[in-house]
Structure 1
Amino acid sequence: MDSTHDRAAEDVGNIIALEHVNVCIPDQQLATIFYVTGLGLTRDPFMMTSVDNMWINVGRSQFHLPTANPQLLRGHVGIVLPDREAFIRRLTRVSEALSGTQFAFHEYPSYVEVLSPWGNRIHCHEPGERFGPITLGMPYVQFDVPVGTAKAIARFYRQIMGAPASMRADDGSPYAEITVGTSQSLIFRESAQPAAPYDGHHIQIYVADFSGPYQKLRQLQLITEDEDQHQYRFKDLADPDSGAKLYTIEHEVRSLRHPLFMRPLVNRNPSQSNVRYAPGRDEWIY
């Protein structure tokens, strides 16, 4: 019997999840005002509870914010937040507390661009068909890469990491889109603008085939840290054919046997307050 279903549309590549983006920040109090009060996100109540690091939950993903000299992601992080009007009100309320920093926000038809106090760009979208079932989460991270590198970056993820990768273009700007799990992606968009020097920020991913990419990365001499049984790291994306370095962004690669894989994350409902409290609605179901 012939099937009318597109079975390939159900395939998931080797990268199962984009779990966190790590950028150092110099001031935990300003970070709390921005990420928790302004964006309406949730500090992880169980991990990194001191004053030298903070994990911020965004649905099933996180921002990791250790205290150190500020780092700048060369691109932007895309997050999905419910209720744009309430979100704008929160940003307006924290503007005075964040005065004197790089904090700013600009409204566009399909998203709100927000600058953190240290200049990191976050594009905040409302839930929609583009993001599948996500109502609160981190569906993508976009990196600005040198002109002429996107195709080779796509090959790197296909051949080395085992992830589906496609080339696209809009407004004359080509980009590689790497599929992550069922509803996330890594985007590498070509830009003629000079890039800032890489400063050590990183992303963390989970992969199903843990050893296969490891062996290929070792052959290309790209492994930078062999941390433990469940994790390794690499920094450079390289052309799998020539070995030429294309872009630098550290990947913290974890196996599905890592103790933190699929750890449940608490996400609060930012509309709750002591004045307008609704019983039973403290947590956001994402």
Structure 2
Amino acid sequence: MTAQQFDRSREDTSNIVHLEHVNVTVPDQRLATLFYVSGLGLTRDPYLMASVDNMWVNVGRSQFHLPTGRPQVLRGHTGLVIPDRMWLLKRLDLVRDDLKESRFEVIEQAGCIEAVCPWGNRLRIHEPDPRFGRVALGMAYLAFDVPAGTAAAISRFYRDIFAAPAQATAEGGRPCAEVVVGRDQRLLFVEADGPLPAYDGHHIQVYLADFSGPYRRLRERGLVSQESSQWQYRFLDITDLDTGKVLFTIEHEVRSMTHPLYARPLVNRNPYQTNNAFAAGYESRSWELPCSG
């Protein structure tokens, strides 16, 4: 009997094992709740940041962190997977009047819905699709707008510093660095024409398997910006490894897999449940599609 052959390389993962959160400050927690929770149908974390000055919002295995402050806007967009396009549009339409004095906008496209938060952060929302793996609900990618001519060097930065699979490719006809940052997750650095907005301090957070190797390589280049704790450090600048030139600035909060918060289970509610149309046992929903084999 011939043994079945498997492509074992399909199960290889990046040294960057998970993209856990995007942090942008917001000036109004009520409007943030209307957009992220009521409109998108996501879930406020019930255990942490439960006061009125910060909110953590669960989307599958990842989160948005939304502390109160001057509005910050990611230079690019966040790619989410949320099922049921029709119901998503209905939810967003229900919050339209309350957000009409803000930058809130909904743009229907063939392959996604683009939703703009009250302060200008752009989200591209896709239904589950094989290109996003088995994700039924989650943060599939972050797409950053970066200066022209930087994609190849950004790819090398992540390969050499983080030992992460990265390649120079194209996105929407533009040169792009694509970095594998976890199971079914990517960072995209898409070259843009013209000047970019100034960096305003927002950040992303990732977990590493090899925590000390990238730290050592960043520190040798003077790039570690914060020694946070035993389990965490931060850096700001992605640089050309030959010249030291700063290619793009986005703060990375870098954590080890021994961090106390690693793989903390996140609650994801079923937004179709209401007090008037309730079915016991359907309060939560899975972030993952069934395995096909």
TM-score by length of 2: 0.95
Moved more, 22-31 or 168-177: 168-177
Matched, 1:36 2:33: no
Deviation at 1:58, TM superposition (A): 0.3
Aligned equivalents of 2:137, 2:12: Cα separation in 1: 23
Instruction: Trace 1:1-286 onto structure 2 (pairs within 5 A).
Output: 5-286=6-287
8 Å contact 1:166–1:178 — kept in the other structure? yes
Cα gap change, 1:224 to 1:136, in 2 (>3 Å): same
User: Once the two structures are superposed, what CA deviation does each residue of 1:21-77 show, in whole Å capped at 9, x if it has no partner?
Assistant: 000000000000110000000000000001110000000000000000000100000
Aligned equivalents of 1:270, 1:101: Cα separation in 2: 24
Matched residue type, 1:150: A
Deviation at 1:172, TM superposition (A): 2.9
Deviation at 1:13, TM superposition (A): 1.5
Deviation at 1:3, TM superposition (A): 9.0
Matched residue type, 2:232: Q
Deviation at 1:193, TM superposition (A): 3.2
Flag as ranges the 4+ runs of structure 1 deviating above 6 A: none
Q: Secondary structure at the match of 2:139?
A: strand
Deviation at 1:6, TM superposition (A): 3.4
Moved more, 28-37 or 7-16: 7-16
Cα gap change, 1:205 to 1:171, in 2 (>3 Å): closer
Deviation at 1:243, TM superposition (A): 1.4
Deviation at 1:276, TM superposition (A): 1.1
Matched residue type, 2:282: R
Aligned equivalents of 2:93, 2:114: Cα separation in 1: 13
Moved more, 208-217 or 3-12: 3-12
Deviation at 1:252, TM superposition (A): 0.1
User: Once the two structures are superposed, what CA deviation does each residue of 1:195-247 show, in whole Å capped at 9, x if it has no partner?
Assistant: 10000000000000000000100111000000110000000001122211100
Matched residue type, 2:233: Y
Count of aligned positions? 286
Give the unaligned 5+ runs of structure 1: none
User: Once the two structures are superposed, what CA deviation does each residue of 1:236-270 show, in whole Å capped at 9, x if it has no partner?
Assistant: 00112221110000000000000000000000000
